[in-house]
Amino acid sequence: MAQRRSLAVPYGAPVLAISFLACVATGLELSVNNHAADFTLSTELGPPISLSCLVHNSSQDEELLWYRGDGQVDLKDGNKVNISNVCISPVNESDNGVTFSCRLARDKSVQVSVILDIQFPPRLSGEETLHVEEDKDVTLTCNSKSNPQAYGIWYKDNHTLTLQQSRHELYQTSEIFRLSIKKVQKSDNGTYTCMMQSLLGSGTRDFYLIVEDKKPVFPKEAIIAAVVVVAIIVFFGIVARRDKFFKVW
């Protein structure tokens, strides 16, 4: 152990010196779309986004790298030295919140990041039919993805749904807006509409909730009992016949 440690020290010193030199050597700056520091780029869906990274005050060729989150972006030759552009096209919802970073290849601590803030309205539509037995629970789920976050509301047969604390439960995340109904009653039957509304627009989705009569409960115990009784009868029947059979023989 002691020997290993004494070996480690001489290795440590040059490494420190080298990284110190690198820092001094790369007293360089990058800019992305003329921003020298990290920034947020807000935009709507659709039009492509172009990000242009530049090295400032370099004295030699400087290779640039682009990252999307943690993943390195493949760049073509001729799009790496001193200046490098990436284009995001088409821009879609999955780009929202993603960070693009431009880094200096020989010192990745020199970097500028762009956080994408992609704004889009709630996207929901269509309809769904749900059959549920009386006394069972049911859950109606809407997609509530949007940026900025949309406000959700439930209607039943075109009237704002009056929530019953004991049976209705709302649940909302950035992805879903959900209504759960416990112990469904005949009066719950109807058309439920989920409406998501944001500054950018709104969307609705209809659920036709059909409450059906309770099905008679399958009498499992009774059937098992009957099967056992029949088995016993058959067994004794066979035994009795075999006795007869032997006697005749």
Ligand X SMILES: *[C@@H]1O[C@H](CO)[C@@H](O)[C@H](O)[C@H]1NC(C)=O
Contact set with ligand X (CB under 6 A): 29, 56-61, 81-82, 92-94, 157-158, 189-191, 208, 210
Q: Which residues contact 215 (CB under 8 A, 6 or more apart)?
A: 133
Q: What's the min distance (Å) between Cβ of 163 and ligand X?
A: 19
Contact 154, 106 (CB under 8 A): no
| C-beta of 25 vs 231, nearer to ligand X | 25
Q: What's the min distance (Å) between Cβ of 91 and ligand X?
A: 8
Q: What's the min distance (Å) between Cβ of 165 and ligand X?
A: 23
| C-beta of 76 vs 229, nearer to ligand X | 76
Q: Which of 32, 40, 38 is nearest to 83 (CA)?
A: 32
| C-beta of 26 vs 58, nearer to ligand X | 58
Tokens encoding 189? 């039957």
Q: What's the min distance (Å) between Cβ of 58 and ligand X?
A: 4
Distance of alpha carbon 156 from alpha carbon 138, whole angstroms:
15
Q: What are the DSSP E strand ranges found in 89-236?
A: 99-104, 107-119, 127-133, 138-143, 151-156, 159-160, 168-172, 176-181, 190-198, 201-212
| C-beta of 56 vs 242, nearer to ligand X | 56
Q: 58-85: b or e for each residue (b if 16 or more CB lie within 10 Å)?
A: eeeebebbbbeeeeeeeeeeeebeeebb
Distances (CA, A) of 177 to 12, 17, 170, 174: 55, 56, 7, 8
Reduced to 3 states (helix: H, G, I; strand: E, B; else coil), residue 153 is strand
| C-beta of 31 vs 149, nearer to ligand X | 31
CA–CA–CA angle 2, 4, 8 (5° rounding): 115
| C-beta of 176 vs 210, nearer to ligand X | 210
| C-beta of 196 vs 209, nearer to ligand X | 209
Tokens encoding 152? 């959700």
Tokens encoding 120? 């889009």
Q: What's the min distance (Å) between Cβ of 112 and ligand X?
A: 12
Q: What's the min distance (Å) between Cβ of 171 and ligand X?
A: 23
Q: What's the min distance (Å) between Cβ of 173 and ligand X?
A: 18
